[in-house]
Structures are given as C-alpha cells and as structure tokens.
Structure 1
Amino acid sequence: MRALLCAGAATLAALAAPATAGVVGDGQLAALSARLFPLLDAAGRDPAALERLATAPGMQAILRGRRARRAACGTDLTCRAQALLWNDQEAGAVRSAAAATTLTDADDGPAAQADREIAGINVIVRTYALGAPPATAIDGPGTLSPQDRQARLQAADWLADAPRAGSAQSFDPSIDYALALLDVSDRTDAIGHEPLSGGANAAAMARTKTLDWRRYRYGAMIVTGVGPEIDGERLSPFGKYHLRLAAQRFAQGDIAFIIVSGGRAHPRATPFTEADEMRKALIERYRIPADAIVSEPYARHTTTNLRNASRLLARMHAPADVETIIICNPLQSSYIESARFTERNAAELGYQPGRVVRRVSPTELVFRPARAADRVDPRDPLDP
C-alpha cells in the first residue's frame, strides 16, 4: 500500500488510480465497511472523493505524521495499534475535510458523521486491540489468552496493509485495521442479517408497497426485547409476556405491522437472535401472518430497540405522521417514559430516537420516530 508521504501529482495519481490487477475485493469487509463507516467507505469507492479528503488543507501533514508515528513503533503491535488512534487535532482535520463533501445523507451533515466514524475507529481499536472494557459485558472480544490476543493483533496489523479493492486504506490504514479487528474477533454482528428487506422480512416488505397505511390507526407496534440470561434459553420470561401482549393487541385489527426488536446479545455469545425467536413464536403460537411481522435483529439495548425500529419504519416508507405504539411490560414501559431514559438516549445516542406522545395503558405507549434515528454510529460497532 502506498503511503501518503508527500503532496503533489504523484500522490494524487496514486489515489485516483483504479484498483490494479491482483487487488481483490473482500465481500464481508466491504459490507462491514459500508455499514459502519458510510462516509469513509463512500470515499474509498470514489477516487476523486478520496483525493479531496486527502488533499484538504493541512491533511497531508497529518497523514504523514500518523504514518511516521506507526512506523516508529517497528514490530511492537500494541504501539502500532495506539498509533492508529485519532487525536483531537487529527479528527478535527477529517471533520473539516468531510464538511466540504456530500458523502453522506445524515440529517446532521457530513462533518458530524465524520466525527462519529473517527470516534468509532477509536472505540474499536481501544476495545479490540488495547484491552479497554467494552460498553457492556455482552460486547467486546471476550476473554483471550495472551497468545490469542497477539495473533489477532498481528493479523489485524497485516490486514490493514493488505490491499483491498474499494477501501480507504490509501487515506489511512486505521479504517481497515478497525474492520480487521472485528473480523478476526468474529464480531461482524453488524452485518449478520443483511439485507433486512429480504429473508424473514421479504413478505412484510412486499406488503408495504401496496398497503393503504391510512386504513390503520397505528402503522406499527414495536415489541421491545428483554434478552434471556440463561444459556440455551430462546426467549426470556418477560419476552414471552411481551408476545402475549402483542398478539392480544394485534387482534384488535387496527395495527398494520408488528416490529419485533432484539439482537443476538443475551447471554454473551448466544446462538439465538431474539427478534427471530419472537417472530417464530408469533407465527407458531399465535398464528400471526408472516407478512404482518417485521424482524429487527440488531438491537442490544432498549435505546436501540426504538432507534432501530424507527429506522425500519423509514425503510418501510411509513408516512411520517402515522403513529406507532410500543408494547412491553409495565416496568420497561414506565422506564421508556421516564426522564432517566431520555437522559440515557442523550448520553448513549446523542439524541432522542423519537418521542412518547401519550400513554394508553400500563403496557402501551404511543410513539413518534425521529429522523435523527438514521444516524450511523460505529461507536457501537455491533449495532451502529
């Protein structure tokens, strides 16, 4: 891989050149890159955009400094990982360069999206390379022997420099290093169920194309997850209660879709995806039609239950003014309505994924999604 050691025509030509013969693509890393880093990934696939980022004012000196910092580490893998962290000055330069682009459709603009992506790289490197504790115990690389840790660091370091067609490696190797860390740790959860418009959701997504949304009082019912805590358990006791509530409420006939939300999160390394298990139970136990159920299989927290359901509603082309309802047990329902949950959204997401409009019953809240929910944030690399 050519390092950006100097500005000028030679560097720009290298950036603009198409992938050379023998430089292969990697379908898994390409999908993970697009999911986690949409702005930087788009730049990697567009030589002209990558050139504009690399030659923005002050950027060449920063990129040279970053590469020199890593090279000075020699073969010390921990040092090389630390060298790929972005400091505030470096992150600010990327933000300024991104501000002049149209590489994202994030509602708060490319500069803010660049901030999230650089912060995401730092979180991944700290968690998966440098041993920082993950945000929650169900995340992260797990307990590793010193030998396993060393093998993962070495493989990620090599992969960051192994050419990959369509990548932004020639801008900075930290992007592919972060992707490689997730790959070698088998934590590519963020792309485990793509595309969401296919598979289990195909029938429901097809129905959205001809649906008269105005026939229904509510566009959707969001059924939040409550992950099991026992190995081998497919649904938690609270999860089973949520399904009974959902089936009973859906039987009234005024809701277009049920969105079941819950990822492969509890207990750690479980083989079961909560949304898939909820969908299966609704069909098998309650005879809910498959084309009335939409599975959201990524959320790992209550905050992202609502964020991801809001994203799905946008993909379903639900009218913005159509209300949804949240169905869950009284304890979780009260929590979602509380100031504490509002504060948690602000702290963890940086915004509110929507707002509670009113309470209908102890287990039912009316909810309006917010467009801010579409912001991709790789600080949670398993569910950005």
Structure 2
Amino acid sequence: FMDAFKWKQEEIDLLVNIFAANTKSQTGQSFRKRLMDSQTYGLSQGKKADEYLARAFRQDLEAMNYVIDVYAGGRKPNYPRIDSISFNITNKSYLYLLKDVAQDVLKDVQQPKLAFYESLWTAVRLLEVNERWDVAQLEPLMELENKKAYEAIRKTDFSRYPYSLLLTLGAGPDQYGQPISPGGMLRSRMAARSYFDGLAPFIMVSGGRVHPYKTPYIEALEMKKYLMQVLGVPEEAILIDPHARHTTTNLRNTSRILLTYGFPQDKFAIVNSSVPHIDAVQNMADRCMRELGYIPYELGKRISDVIVEFKPRIESLTIDPDEPLDP
C-alpha cells in the first residue's frame, strides 16, 4: 500500500522536469512570477525562476509522501505525543482501512489526466480519517473569525499606540475535555490588561487543536471567547491563529499575519506569556533554525518579565513541509 500511495523518486524527477518545461509560456511566466513573489518556498532573491519552481514542485510532491508515511505508515512525526497516527498499524484490520482509502481515491480518478492527483488525494483522505483537518479549520480567517478585526486594522491610527499588536501565547490544557487551562486564563488576563492600558490596539491569541492529544478544542478560539465573555475585550480587537502547534509557530504565524493583514512594518509588536515562556522565546533562535530552517521574527527589548518586543521577518512566509497540520 505504501509503495502504491507514494511518489517514487524517478517519478518526482520526471514530473519536476515536465512541469518546468510546461511553464515557459506567457501564462506560465506569470505563474512563475507570482510563485517567486509569494516567498512561500524560501526567499526568491537571487534565485533563478527554473530553480525556484523546481524546488517548490519537488517539495510539494515529497510533502505528500511525508503525510502518507506518517498517517498511513505510522512514521513518527516531529512531535509524536500530539501529532501521531490514530491507528494501530499492526492490526490486520488496518490494511482494510488502507484498501478503502485506495478504493475511494480511485473512484475520483476516472480519467488518465487525473492520475497526477492520486497521491495528493490519498494524503488528504489519510489526514481526514485520522481527524487531522487542523490546517483548514476556521478558514478563511479573514472572512470569518478575524473579519471584524481585519476590517478594523484599516481604520486604526497606529501612531496612537506604542505597539501594533500584542501576541498572547497559550498554555494547553492537561486534561481531556478542558476548553481552556488556568495558564490560558491568566495569560488572557495579562493581554486584556495591556490592551486596556493602551499598549496595542489588537490582541492576537495563537494556538491550535493541540493539547491534550486529539482534543476537540482550539486553544486560540477558547482564549478569544474568554477575552470577550469574561474580560470584556471587544471582538474587533481580537485576532486568532487557530493553527500553531508550538511556540515557534506561534511567532511564525503571527508574523505572517503582521505581514499580510496591513499592519505597519516599521512598528514593533509584543508577545506576552509566563516568565519561563518568555525566557524560552528569547532563547528560541536555535530551535527555529532546527525545526523551521529560519528565524521568523526579530526580537527587540524585554519590556517586563512577561513581555518582549518582536517584528516579523519575510522568512516567516516560508512553508514548512514536514508539519502538515500547520505548514
């Protein structure tokens, strides 16, 4: 099953060459420019279009294989305690589940030209049966949960505030069925206090469906509810990132929003959490390089025991292919 599901290396090499050759037309050149301008496959400055395109296409094909390895083959993901497969792959009945996945995908491949999508759709089906649709939850954010705050950004006079945004890091519950942890409540209170003191016009709460394993609750959404219903922060002042699974991606995803939602690029944002958590943020560069391959933020001053300044870096737009629940 695994061999049938995945792209073979010779197939990847062949498809990369075909794709590169078929994007040399005028329409293809427009696509290449949009791809390079997006910076989503690393910084494009100094790169040739052929090189950047091949890197992007190869990365996506190999990312499909990675999903299949983890969510069909039981390979350990980067964080097995929260992201591992939902099934016992040594159970004989599991093979019948994989057979059902294969049959389902083949029903959608009625024409030879659709064969290209077999591995992609297999990866998506495997994420689905593992209940791992985290990457798409609450999307599109700009039109749903972040709509009021997104619209308020354009009307905000940021010169009235010392900082553009306050990122509040979560503290995942330890008990299954607990929507928000005591730490999450206290950090939300820190954020509300800073907001009402006028430090920043927007609060960002960041945290996905992470702790404990297979929790039904999205941390950022529960913190938003707490900020609104308990602490009286207006919805138009709250942005959420419901995807981040680690402190590294709390900062990375917030940096992406700062770059793409219209925040002033010359102004620092701030991040608040517990003292040891902010200590960790200040010493997280090596971890970012190890797990992401880049540092998605620039740190500024630590203005209190629980708050430190940061700015987004353009590198934060880069996709992380071995984190399919929050790439």
Determine which structure has more spread, i.e. the larger CA radius of gyration: 1
**3-state DSSP class of the match of 1:186?**
coil
Distance 2:159 2:54 in 1: 38
- Aligned positions, number: 303
Contact 1:169/1:176 (<8 A) preserved: no
Contact 2:72/2:85 (<8 A) preserved: no
Distance 2:324 2:146 in 1: 23
User: In the TM superposition, what is the alpha-carbon distance from 1:140 to its structure 2 partner?
Assistant: 2.8
Contact 2:109/2:115 (<8 A) preserved: no
RMSD: 2.5
**Where does residue 137 of structure 2 map in the other structure?**
192
Contact 2:74/2:84 (<8 A) preserved: no
Find 1:106's aligned residue among 38, 42, 65: 38
Residue pairs, 1:13-162, within 5 angstroms = 77-81=1-5, 84-87=6-9, 90-95=11-16, 102=31, 104=35, 105-107=37-39, 108=42, 109-136=52-79, 137-144=81-88, 146=91, 149-162=94-107
Evaluate the alpha carbon distance shift between residue 147 and residue 199 of structure 1 in structure 2; reply closer, same or farther with a 3 A threshold.
farther
**Where does residue 367 of structure 1 map in the other structure?**
310
**Where does residue 232 of structure 2 map in the other structure?**
287
Evaluate the alpha carbon distance shift between residue 111 and residue 352 of structure 1 in structure 2; reply closer, same or farther with a 3 A threshold.
farther
**Where does residue 180 of structure 1 map in the other structure?**
125
**Where does residue 156 of structure 2 map in the other structure?**
211
Matching of residue 296 in structure 1 with residue 228 in structure 2: no
Evaluate the alpha carbon distance shift between residue 307 and residue 93 of structure 1 in structure 2; reply closer, same or farther with a 3 A threshold.
farther
Q: Counterpart of 2:232 in structure 1: which amino acid?
A: R
TM-score after normalising by structure 2? 0.84
Of 92-101 and 319-328, more deviation after overlay is shown by 92-101
Distance 2:280 2:113 in 1: 42
Contact 2:127/2:133 (<8 A) preserved: yes
Distance 1:141 1:282 in 2: 33
Distance 1:97 1:214 in 2: 51
Matching of residue 355 in structure 1 with residue 298 in structure 2: yes
Of 289-298 and 306-315, more deviation after overlay is shown by 306-315
Contact 1:86/1:122 (<8 A) preserved: no
Evaluate the alpha carbon distance shift between residue 112 and residue 318 of structure 1 in structure 2; reply closer, same or farther with a 3 A threshold.
farther
Evaluate the alpha carbon distance shift between residue 268 and residue 148 of structure 1 in structure 2; reply closer, same or farther with a 3 A threshold.
farther
User: In the TM superposition, what is the alpha-carbon distance from 1:170 to its structure 2 partner?
Assistant: 3.4
**3-state DSSP class of the match of 1:229?**
coil
TM-score after normalising by structure 1? 0.72
Evaluate the alpha carbon distance shift between residue 168 and residue 224 of structure 1 in structure 2; reply closer, same or farther with a 3 A threshold.
farther
Give identity over the alignment, percent.
31
Residue pairs, 1:237-256, within 5 angstroms = 237-256=182-201
Matching of residue 335 in structure 1 with residue 280 in structure 2: yes
Distance 1:318 1:368 in 2: 11
**3-state DSSP class of the match of 1:200?**
coil
Distance 1:168 1:322 in 2: 49
Distance 1:219 1:141 in 2: 39
Distance 1:106 1:148 in 2: 44
* Structure 2: 5+ residue stretches without partners: 43-51
* Structure 1: 5+ residue stretches without partners: 1-76
User: In the TM superposition, what is the alpha-carbon distance from 1:85 to its structure 2 partner?
Assistant: 3.9
Distance 1:161 1:128 in 2: 19
Matching of residue 309 in structure 1 with residue 250 in structure 2: no
